[in-house]
Homo-oligomer: A and B are copies of this chain.
């Protein structure tokens, strides 16, 4: 190719590249500097934030990821298993089908919460990424002057949300109505590692304000706490949903490994077909459209 002189800067990527005798990932030599040195979690964080995590961040990142990897026979896991039933030779398709359900209802709330909190904290706080464990800024320092400020931001954000008819993200769970067991554990780990930052603390204020304003107490859900923790570790809110998809892929791959040994898809289909044909009298919406 004779592309001398063309400006192809726009077509370059920092993420990875290779030449006949070398593979580079994140500007580092893959075999020498990454293989045997970094975990997948560390590499994912490095690729997204452009710096490796500290040991404390690594522990909290893994806690976030394992907390979202799987929850049993969810719609997402069922979609993956049913897809595998039809195309067992293309496992990438079954995994993709499972990921496609990670939208506004499931998993998406992690990113929505990160964005909501980041917007409430304002542009400059978003850039700082909240507390980063250094103990001397707005994030994790327990400064008395800070809590009232967060409370005010929470009140503004919750009020604006309710006024426009949207739900406050990060609160409530259809199964864990009193407390989502992942939430206190994430707060505990963030505290242990000195990583309890502005986003996680604001989310607690949001929960309290929401209860006062609505008269209805809703717990912080695991997805919301995860999104806040990632935002506190400077993962951009627009990348939070993507980041947690890595964990979900692990869960889906496990379901497909189990589906090989202990298939559910075919029998679920047969049961549904049988019940549908027995119950259905032709038209589930007889008098409409």
**Considering only CB atoms, which chain B residue lies closest to A61 in the complex?**
B40
> What chain B residues lie within 8 Å of A72 (beta carbons)?
13, 15-18, 273, 276-277
> Are A257 and B242 neighbours in the complex by a CB distance under 8 Å?
yes
Q: How many copies does the complex hold?
A: 4
One digit per residue, 1 when the CB lies within 8 angstroms of any chain B CB and 0 when it does not, for chain A 77-95 equals: 1110011011111111111
The A129-161 residues at the B interface (CB cut-off 8 A) are none
CA distance A263 to B202 in the complex (A): 32
Instruction: Say how far A128's CB is from chain B's closest CB, in angstroms.
Output: 12
> What chain B residues lie within 8 Å of A47 (beta carbons)?
69-70, 250-251, 253-254, 257
A6 within 8 A of B: yes
A124 within 8 A of B: no
A214 within 8 A of B: no
CA distance A77 to B79 in the complex (A): 10
> Are B78 and A97 neighbours in the complex by a CB distance under 8 Å?
no
Q: Which of B13, B100, B186 is in CB contact (< 8 Å) with A276?
A: B13
One digit per residue, 1 when the CB lies within 8 angstroms of any chain B CB and 0 when it does not, for chain A 181-192 equals: 110111001001
> Are A50 and B103 neighbours in the complex by a CB distance under 8 Å?
no
**Considering only CB atoms, which chain B residue lies closest to A179 in the complex?**
B21
A113 within 8 A of B: no
A99 within 8 A of B: yes
A118 within 8 A of B: no
> Are B89 and A95 neighbours in the complex by a CB distance under 8 Å?
no
**Considering only CB atoms, which chain B residue lies closest to A286 in the complex?**
B14
**Considering only CB atoms, which chain B residue lies closest to A64 in the complex?**
B35
A272 within 8 A of B: yes
> Are A250 and B86 neighbours in the complex by a CB distance under 8 Å?
no
CA distance A189 to B31 in the complex (A): 10
CA distance A90 to B91 in the complex (A): 10
Using A22-B181, A48-B254, A186-B35 as known contacts, say yes or no to A40 and B62 having CB atoms under 8 A apart: yes
One digit per residue, 1 when the CB lies within 8 angstroms of any chain B CB and 0 when it does not, for chain A 231-270 equals: 0000010110111011101111111111011101111110
> Are A275 and B41 neighbours in the complex by a CB distance under 8 Å?
no
A213 within 8 A of B: no
Instruction: Say how far A258's CB is from chain B's closest CB, in angstroms.
Output: 6
> Are B27 and A282 neighbours in the complex by a CB distance under 8 Å?
yes
Instruction: Say how far A180's CB is from chain B's closest CB, in angstroms.
Output: 8
Using A100-B87, A245-B253 as known contacts, say yes or no to A182 and B30 having CB atoms under 8 A apart: yes
Q: Which of B87, B102, B242, B276 is in CB contact (< 8 Å) with A104?
A: B87
> Are A13 and B103 neighbours in the complex by a CB distance under 8 Å?
no
> What chain B residues lie within 8 Å of A19 (beta carbons)?
175, 277
